[in-house]
Structure 1
Amino acid sequence: MATHLQGSLFDQTDDLRLGPLDGLRRTRLNAGAWIDLLPGWLTGADTLFERLVLDVPWRAERRRMYDRSVDVPRLLRFYGPGDPLPHPLLDEAREALSAHYADELGEPFVTAGLCYYRDGRDSVAWHGDRIGRSAHEDTMIAILSVGAPRDLALRPRGGGQVLRRPLGHGDLIVMGGSCQRTWEHAVPKTNRAAGPRISVQFRTRGVR
C-alpha cells in the first residue's frame, strides 16, 4: 500500500520514544469540556506511521446513509479489550495515558481504534463518542496522530465557533470533561494538498 508521506524535518529517526506527559497544556472549553494538547509526544512518529500502514489489517467499510449504502471515507481497524495491538509502542502509550489520567478518569483506557486518512478526500463527520455512556456521564478520548498533519475541528454541540488543531507527526490530544456530550469533533475534507495520516484513539471500555 503506497503512503507518499512527506516526513517531518524534525523527526528523522528510527528510535521510537514517548516523551513525558507533564508537557500537556489544557484548554478549557465551555460547559465543562476541555482538551489537553502535547505536540510531538512521540519521537520517531514517521517510522511508526510506516509500520502501521504495513502491519495493520485495514478494513474499508460501507455504512447505510438514508436510502443507500456509501463507502466510509477512511480505512479502519478496532482493537478491543485484550486484543494485541499492532505495535508495542501503542501498548506503552495506552499504559502511560491510563496512569496519567487515573485520578480524573477513574478507569483505564482499554481499546484502540485506528483510522487511516489516505489523503484530503478522507474524513470523519461531526460527532461525539457517546456510545457506552449515559447522557450525564463523562469520558475521555486520547488521540495519538502519526503521519502528515490534518485539522481536528471542534465545535459546541448545536453549532458555534469552530476550533481547529492540526495534528500529526506524533502529536497527542486528549478530549475530556463533558467534551463528548457537549461538543462535537470532525476531520473535515480538504482541497489542499494533504499527506496520509493515521490517528490512534484510546478509549475506555464500551465507549465508541
Structure 2
Amino acid sequence: MKMHNKYALLLTLLIGCGLGVLIPITQPVQPGTAQAMIQKAERTLAPFELQSAYGQFDQHVLRGQWTIMMFGFTHCPDICPTALSRLAALETQLTALSIPWQPKYVFVSVDPQRDTVTELDIYVRHFRPSFIGVTGHPDQLKLLARSTGAQFQVDNAPDNYQVAHSTMLFLLDPSATLRGRFDINQDLSELAAQLKRFIYMAGSQQN
C-alpha cells in the first residue's frame, strides 16, 4: 500500500524513530569552527497545558529561567537516547562555564498513549536527575509544537506503531519566548561556548 503523500513528506522531514532510521540533519562540526550552531528565532509560545510528574506544566512554569526543550518519546530505540546522552554532556559543559543563567532541560513526549508522566520521569532522570519529562493531550502537544516550529506524527496502528518527530532542540528565554534552535549533533564544547554567548547577549538586551 502506498503511503499518503502528506505522511511521506513528513517522514522525509522528520526522524522515523519508531523504525530506528536516522536521517542526518547536519554532520558533526569539528572543534574550533566559526560556524554558527544556533539558528536565531523569536516566537512567543501560545498558552498550553501539559503534565509532568510534579504537576501541571505550562508556559508559566517556563518563566524565570532559560529552557532547552526537545521532543521525542521513550520507546525511541536509538535517536532519543543518544540525543539525551549528548544533552546531559552539554549540561556538564554549560555548568563548567559558570554561566549566570543555567537552563532547565525539558523532554516533551509526543507519545502520550504509551508514555505516562511517571514513566517519563524515570526515563529522563536516567540521563540526568535535573531533566524534566512532560506530555499530555495530543491537541496540547500539537499546540506547543506549532509554537516552537517542531513537527511530529504518531501512527498508532496496532500492527505498525510508528512515531516521527523533529530532532532540533529549542532554546526558550525567561519570558517563555522561543529565541533559537539547534542540532545536538555538533561539537559540544563549541556548542556550549556559543550557547553561553547567545544567552549572555540575549540577557543583556533584556536588562
TM-score above 0.5, yes or no: no
Of the two structures, which has the highest relative contact order with CA contacts closer than 8 Å and spacing of 6 or more? 2
Give TM-score, length-normalised by structure 1.
0.31
Q: Higher helix share goes to which structure?
A: 2
